[in-house]
Structure 1
Amino acid sequence: MFDAKSDPSMDEARCPVHAAPDHPKVKPAKVGILLANLGTPDNYDYWSMRRYLNEFLSDKRVIDYSPWIWQPLLQLVILTKRPFSSGEAYKSIWNEEQGESPLMTITKDQTAKIKATMEAEYGNQVMVDFCMRYGNPSTKSKVREMVEAGCTKILFFPLYPHYAGATSATACDQFFRALMEEKWQPLTRTVEPYFEHPMYIEALAQSIERAYEKIENRPDVLVCSYHGVPKRYLMEGDPYHCQCQKTTRLLKERLGWDDSEIITTFQSRFGPEEWLKPYTVEEVARLAETGKKKIAVCAPAFSADCIETLEEINEEIHESFEEAGGEEFTYIPCLNDDDAHIAALSQVIRENLGGWV
């Protein structure tokens, strides 16, 4: 083995000591840290949206109906119409300067900061990169790059604070599928959900305190809006609902607030069946109708702002609140590349690298 901690020249591939002269050259062993997020279309035109939505909505972790029923509906009905409406939604938030979605921009920024933190501590022993479950850069391509770079161990980190089959599990599924294609399969670890990690809760609390300091009239209620899943998933054993509730409770305790000042809701329903309740879009209207005219909304289940926060919360949910008589609506951005968030994610990584570096 080679010590690649601080000498850049140690990145060079070479024959192992005592090996025959014709032995294939081997790069010094590294630990890969692969961050993973949901994904993004390459653009907001019809075909880019259709490719992305087809991959996303064909995932049985996301839509678990029988393919004999679901695929004809998806291919013949949903994917003929939805790419247009989804494309318009993406267009409204698109980062035109960099030609990418905000999720891509933010994930790149997060990765750059985490990479700088890890390399400052571990030097060339680590390689930090990111992938997307759907779209590009693919999980498969990034696993391949890490193996080619000499990563004999990979820490896979889905950037979801809470576990859900439709998020963390499907990201891990794709990671394991990529590993199946490797001749020399690296040792691997996956990072468990960090929804109750003290540094994550602290980062959330700080972001809310900063936002409240800037609001002239204190909101009557803070709505913690989490991405929804069908209620059936909870009944089948998915822990997501309970983990979301715990995050809200821990946040409330850290802020020192009363129960009446903070609530948990769920957004982004899809399809006809019942999802986790209360639904954010309905609950904000109810709040307005019952006299809560000033609210703030945050999205603790998202590590980065995306279509569900920038478009759905800031537009659809905001509109529902105002139409019901609400007067002051404040969206508190996700933690994104905030320093406290990067510190929390970096600490989670350190804890999971134990014995590897």
Structure 2
Amino acid sequence: MTVQTKPAADMRAVRLPSDHPPVKAGRIGVLLMNLGTPEGTDYWPMRAYLKEFLSDRRVIETSRWIWWPLLNLIILTTRPGKKGKDYASIWNNERNEGPLKTITRSQTEQLAERLKPLTGERVVFDWAMRYGFPDVKSRIQALLDEGCDRILLVPLYPQYAAPTSATACDHAFRALMEMRWQPAVRVAPPYHDDPVYIRALADSMRRQLATLDFDPEVILCSFHGMPKEYLLKGDPYHCQCAKTWRLLREELGLPKERFMLTFQSRFGPAEWLQPYTDQTVEALAKAGKTSLAIVAPGFSADCLETLEELDVENREIFLENGGQKFAYLPCLNDSEEGMRVITEVVQRELMGWI
């Protein structure tokens, strides 16, 4: 996309009386938002992260009378230890942080570098996590302190869902509710069917498949799951995942039986979106499929659900049930293809402001 902009000298200026205290104004903020990550892998940081995440009414819609004792008396007693070990297996020890934080920071830095020739110093780029740190409220305040009176919120979820996109915006809106002088705000929409996103996914997959020493008999297109009840209440997530899968399959020229749609990461006894990834992996292996690859296009950055659940747990399921060759194809992350998508989305949504 090519965006025409005015020279820096013509940008909107802030004129104040000569005796007015100095203020920063007239700038634009871009805030990339992702899910979150614990601050450490030990019990207490894991408990704090899980408590914030699982207390969110967008994530768990079960009655509080039922959910509160279950969460606080059982889940937060037992789950932090297990999840802490899982996080430790993928932890960025050099930075002492989860990979989602490392990648989101890099995405923001690369975005700023790519758009600086277009925006100059007028646009400020930052990033935040819905759960954990850096938190959304503090980063919005940091943008205001930099003189940003217009802010573009960019939830890094290609497909919209109430437990992801909506809760990220909820968090931002709660921060705005406490401000006497609010900035103007835009929210970037989901981009599940954006041609730039679909082509980037296809390019990334072709590049990665070319490095394998085998040609997968089946490729699973695995999205994070959600309770089926949320779909029945009107959440568009399932439909948007299915459209991404269809468009990507058509772009790659693959038949349905070779490029299959599945859903992962179910939690609790309720029925979730199907077919389930782990059950499909097991069934394929038992049916005699010897080679399998999995891609997770619903994640803009690799995290626990991809690096541990898909590349470790599902690899073990496949190999233990007769499979021979398995590959996990990483997310777009901060790759050239991934940055192409984020840059396109941000440039488009800034139109009229720059």
TM-score (norm 2): 0.95
AA aligned opposite 2:248: L
- 1:204 corresponds in structure 2 to 201
SS at match of 1:141: helix
Would you say 1:194 and 2:219 are equivalent positions? no
Kindly report which structure 2 residues correspond to 1:10-25, keeping only aligned pairs within 5 A, or say none.
17=15, 19=17, 21=19, 23-25=20-22
Q: CA deviation at 1:130?
A: 0.3
AA aligned opposite 1:282: Q
SS at match of 1:156: strand
AA aligned opposite 1:335: L
CA contact (8 A) 1:34 1:157 kept: yes
AA aligned opposite 1:310: L
Would you say 1:304 and 2:301 are equivalent positions? yes
Match of 1:285 among 271, 282, 285: 282
Kindly report which structure 2 residues correspond to 1:1-357, keeping only aligned pairs within 5 A, or say none.
17=15, 19=17, 21=19, 23-357=20-354
AA aligned opposite 1:17: R
Q: CA deviation at 1:147?
A: 0.8
Q: CA deviation at 1:292?
A: 1.6
Q: 1:18 to 1:320 in 2, by over 3 A?
A: closer
CA contact (8 A) 1:230 1:274 kept: yes
Mapped to 1, the partners of 2:15 and 2:80 lie a distance apart of: 56
The runs of at least 4 consecutive aligned structure 1 residues that moved more than 3 Å come to: 4-7
AA aligned opposite 2:192: F
1:213-261 CA-partner distances (Å, limit 9, x unpaired): 1122200111011000001111110111111111111111111122222
Mapped to 1, the partners of 2:16 and 2:264 lie a distance apart of: 60
Mapped to 2, the partners of 1:236 and 1:28 lie a distance apart of: 42
Moved more, 254-263 or 36-45: 254-263
Mapped to 2, the partners of 1:17 and 1:246 lie a distance apart of: 49
Mapped to 2, the partners of 1:266 and 1:17 lie a distance apart of: 54
CA contact (8 A) 2:35 2:164 kept: yes
Structure 2, unaligned runs of 5 or more: 1-5
AA aligned opposite 1:84: G
SS at match of 1:211: helix
Mapped to 2, the partners of 1:53 and 1:28 lie a distance apart of: 38
Q: CA deviation at 1:112?
A: 0.6
Mapped to 1, the partners of 2:8 and 2:84 lie a distance apart of: 46
Q: 1:314 to 1:17 in 2, by over 3 A?
A: closer
AA aligned opposite 1:71: W
Mapped to 1, the partners of 2:213 and 2:309 lie a distance apart of: 25
Structure 1, unaligned runs of 5 or more: none
1:151-205 CA-partner distances (Å, limit 9, x unpaired): 1100000000000110001001001111112221000010110111111111110
AA aligned opposite 2:100: L
CA contact (8 A) 1:5 1:123 kept: no
Mapped to 1, the partners of 2:35 and 2:159 lie a distance apart of: 13
- 2:3 corresponds in structure 1 to none
SS at match of 1:202: helix
Mapped to 2, the partners of 1:160 and 1:116 lie a distance apart of: 22
Question: Identity over the aligned pairs, expressed in percent?
Answer: 51
TM-score (norm 1): 0.94
Q: CA deviation at 1:325?
A: 0.9
CA contact (8 A) 2:198 2:244 kept: yes
Mapped to 2, the partners of 1:94 and 1:235 lie a distance apart of: 36
CA contact (8 A) 2:58 2:162 kept: yes
Q: 1:25 to 1:210 in 2, by over 3 A?
A: same
Q: CA deviation at 1:120?
A: 2.0
Q: CA deviation at 1:20?
A: 5.7
CA contact (8 A) 1:5 1:125 kept: no
SS at match of 1:304: coil
CA contact (8 A) 2:150 2:185 kept: yes
SS at match of 1:124: coil
Q: 1:316 to 1:176 in 2, by over 3 A?
A: same
Q: CA deviation at 1:68?
A: 1.6
Q: CA deviation at 1:306?
A: 0.2
1:69-128 CA-partner distances (Å, limit 9, x unpaired): 111111111101111001000001101011111111111111110111122211011000
Q: CA deviation at 1:24?
A: 3.1
AA aligned opposite 2:292: I
Q: CA deviation at 1:319?
A: 1.2
Mapped to 2, the partners of 1:17 and 1:217 lie a distance apart of: 64
CA contact (8 A) 2:262 2:274 kept: yes
Q: 1:224 to 1:24 in 2, by over 3 A?
A: same
CA contact (8 A) 1:5 1:124 kept: no
Mapped to 1, the partners of 2:201 and 2:292 lie a distance apart of: 17
Q: CA deviation at 1:17?
A: 3.4
Would you say how many aligned residue pairs link Structure 1 and Structure 2?
347
Q: CA deviation at 1:268?
A: 0.3
Mapped to 1, the partners of 2:167 and 2:79 lie a distance apart of: 23
